[in-house]
Amino acid sequence: MTLGAAPLAPAPTAALRERMLLVVLFVTVFASSVAFIEPSPHDGLMGLLLVACLIAGVHFDRLLALPLLLLLLFNFAGTLSLLNVPAEDKAIQYTGTSIYLAIAALTFACLYARNTMPRLVTMRIAYVSTATIIALAGIAGYFSLFPHAHELFAPFDRALGAFKDPNVFGPFLIWPALIVIERMVSRHVSLKDIAIVGILVVGLLLSFSRGAWFHFAVSCALTLALAFLVAPTQQARARVFGLSAIGFVTVAVFIVVLLSFESIRRMFIERAQLIQYYDVGEGGRFELQRQALSVVLNFFNGMGPFEFARVYGLQQHNVYLQAFIVYGWLGGVTYIILLLSTLWIATRTMLVRTPWQPYLFTAFAAFTGEVLEGFVIDSDHWRHFYLLLGMIWGLAAATLNEQQRHAMRRGGAYVGAH
C-alpha cells in the first residue's frame, strides 16, 4: 500500500498563503544557479522564503530536533573558532554563511515535512529548469556559441555556468539529472526528458571535474539500483533494467562522439588521470592533507576560517579535515554525526512506498555521492548540499508521520470492527 492520503482542501486564506509560499519557493530555488557573486540572489531570497514559511504556518516537526541540535553545535563551534583569527570581515562572513546555510537546510526540511508533494513538485520544476538553463550556458560558453560566452561561462576551458568553480557547477547538475532519469526508467520516456538529461550530462562532462564525474557515477548507480529494488512488479523491474542498459550504451556512444572534438578529447585525457601534478610533491594536495592531519591534532578548537590556507598557502581540499580545522573537534565530530545520521534516516525511510519516495531515494543517492566527494573537495558551503540535507530530513519526517497516521487508522478500524 502507498502511504500519503490526499489532504483536505484548505480554507481560502490558507490556500492563498500556500500559493504565495510556492511562488517564493520556486523563485528561490530557480535563483540557486547564480552563484558567481557573494552574497548571491539565492541568499537574499532564502530570507524571503523563511518569511513566507512563517506566514503560511509551516510547522517544525519533532524529528527535525536532531539536525537542529547538530547544526547548532556545528555552528557554535565555528563561531567559537573565530577567537583564533583576526577580526576580518572575510572570516566573519564565512561563519555567517555557515549559519545561514544551516537555517536554509532546516527551512527546506520543515517545508517538505507537510503538504509534501505540491512543495516538492514546485522545487523540482524550479531546480530542473535552472540546472538545464545553466548547463546550456556552460555548453554555450565552452563552444563559444556567442560573443563573450567563453569568458563568461567557461573560462580556463572548463564549463562553470554562473558558478565561480566548475567543481561546484558539476555536482549542482546531478540531482536534477537523477530525478529525471528515475522518471524515465520507472514511468515514461519523453523527448523532453531525454533532451534535459542530455544537456545536464554534457554540462557535467564539460565541467571536467573528476570529483563530479565520480559523484555522478556513484549517485546514478545508486538511483538505478534503488529504482529496481522498489519497483512494484517483475515487469517494472525488467523495465528499469532494460532502460538502464540502453541508457548506459547511449551515454557511452554520446561520450565517444563528444570525444571526437579535439579540445574535449585533450582535456578529457588530461582530467581523467587519477593523479594530477598538483596532487603530489611538496605543496601538493596529498602533502597538504598530511599537514592538515597534524593541525587537527594540535588545534583542538580549530584554526578558524582561512587560517590553514594563510599558513600553508593552499586549502587541503577535504571537507572532513576542513570541519576539524575550521570548526575544531566539536565541529568536526558533529559534522560527521550529521552526515551519518542523515544517511541513516534516509535508509530508514526511503523504502517505504509513498508518493515522494523517488525524491527521497534520489536525494539519498546524490547526498551519498557528495559525502564521498567530500574526501577531495571542501563542500561545506555548497548550497545544493544543504537543499539535499533538508530534503532528506523533511521527507523522512513526512514518511514517519504517514506511517504513524496509517497505523492509527488501522488501529481505529480494528477497534471499530470489534
Q: Is residue 246 one of the residues assigned to a domain?
A: yes
| CA dist., res. 309 & res. 329, Å (int) | 19
Q: What is the model's pTM?
A: 0.91
Instruction: Please compute the mean of the pLDDT values over residues 178-187 and round it to a whole number.
Output: 96
User: What digits encode the pLDDT tens for the residues 72-102?
Assistant: 999 999 999 888 777 677 888 889 999 999 9
Q: In this predicted structure, what is the pLDDT of residue 290?
A: 74
Residue 283 has pLDDT above 70, yes or no: no
* pLDDT band, residue 5 (cuts 50/70/90): very low
Q: Is residue 5 one of the residues assigned to a domain?
A: no
Q: Is 328 left (phi over 0), alpha (psi -120 to 50) or beta?
A: left
Residue 320 has pLDDT above 70, yes or no: yes
> The domain containing residue 411 runs over which residues?
12-417
Residue bearing the bigger pLDDT, 22 or 298: 22
User: Between helices 210-230 and 234-258, what is the axis angle to 10°?
Assistant: 160
* pLDDT band, residue 257 (cuts 50/70/90): confident
Q: In this predicted structure, what is the pLDDT of residue 6?
A: 47
Q: Is residue 195 one of the residues assigned to a domain?
A: yes
> What mean pLDDT value characterizes the chain?
89
Residue 54's contacts (CB-CB under 8 Å, 6 or more residues apart) are none
Q: In this predicted structure, what is the pLDDT of residue 159?
A: 93
Here the cell at position 204 is 557535467
Q: Residue by residue, what is the 3-state secondary structure of the chain?
A: CCCCCCCCCCCHHHHHHHHHHHHHHHHHHHHHHCCCCCCCHHHHHHHHHHHHHHHHCCCCCHHHHHHHHHHHHHHHHHHHHHHHCCCCHHHHHHHHHHHHHHHHHHHHHHHHHCCHHHHHHHHHHHHHHHHHHHHHHHHHHHCCCCCCHHHHHCHHHCCCCCCCCHHHHHHHCHHHHHHHHHHHHHCCCCHHHHHHHHHHHHHHHHCCCHHHHHHHHHHHHHHHHHHHHHCCCHHHHHHHHHHHHHHHHHHHHHHHHHCCCHHHHHHHHHHHCCCCHHHCCCCCHHHHHHHHHHHHHHCCCCCCCCHHHHHHCCCCCCHHHHHHHHHHHHHHHHHHHHHHHHHHHHHHHCCCCCCCHHHHHHHHHHHHHHHHHCCCCCCCCCHHHHHHHHHHHHHHHHHHHHHHHHHHHHHHHHHHHC
Q: Is residue 7 one of the residues assigned to a domain?
A: no
Here the cell at position 195 is 533532451
- Report which residue type is found at 144: S
Q: Is residue 4 one of the residues assigned to a domain?
A: no
Q: Is residue 172 one of the residues assigned to a domain?
A: yes
Say if residues 37 and 86 touch (Cβ distance below 8 Å).
no
Q: Is residue 275 one of the residues assigned to a domain?
A: yes
Instruction: Please compute the mean of the pLDDT values over residues 106-125 and round it to a whole number.
Output: 96
Instruction: Provide the number of structural domains found in the chain.
Output: 1
Q: In this predicted structure, what is the pLDDT of residue 116?
A: 95
Cα 186 to the center of its chain, rounded Å: 22
